[in-house]
Amino acid sequence: MNKNKINLENIPQEIPIFPLSNAIFFPNTVMPLNIFEPRYKQMIEDALDKNKFIGMAQPNLQNLQSEKPDLFNIGCVGMISKHNKTSQGTYLVNLEGVVRFKVIKEVENKKMYRTFRVSYTEFSDDLDEKVKKEIDDQSLLELIDKTKKFFKMFQLSTDWSVIEKVEPSQLINSLAMICPFTSGEKQRLLETSSLQERNSILNQIINFYILGNTTDSHKKIH
């Protein structure tokens, strides 16, 4: 299926979900995955044989040790856009984000991986190209400057020449993905309804870390 022709009617309501702690991804972004567990290799192979759709959601932190941990209610479904099976039998996969979903219930299957019934209705704007650009340039510049300061303070690195050239939604969502926030903070960003709100919350979280680090440094000096 051509990703440009995707709409809410042709995305499956039952999808396999890959649970991954402290990791989120958004529509119009790419998540690289290294799949080595047998159950998730089976998931990749089945998806490649069918429609290439795979969902991702964070497991709930309270029961990570469970064989079937509860998942956060909101995740994102993507399509496999690139894959390669290595000589060791692992899969290197690029998952391209399509639309966020709300988990309705788990569906029993005979596979090693888990399948869920989901709803995309409340995130239909994820597929609207116009919505992706509704943010002013000044806000983006302020976010970039603040994030650069954050990265410098915490000795992080990324290719800013690439990030600064992408469209607003990709820029904001990519920063939300790569910044080393907690699972809860990442989930909060994923669940925001609008790009403007996500930009605002992203600024708040970065400010919190910058101010916290500055305060700690001030205490050490004095």
Alpha-carbon torsion angle 56, 16, 72, 200, nearest 10: 30
Is residue 220's pLDDT more than 50? no
pLDDT attached to residue 114:
96
Is residue 11's pLDDT more than 80? yes
Q: Percentage of the chain with pLDDT > 70?
A: 89
Report pLDDT digits (tens) over 167-197.
888 889 999 999 999 999 999 999 998 888 9
Cβ neighbourhood burial of 196 (10 Å; 0-12, 13-18, 19+): middle
pLDDT grade for 217, boundaries at 50, 70 and 90:
very low
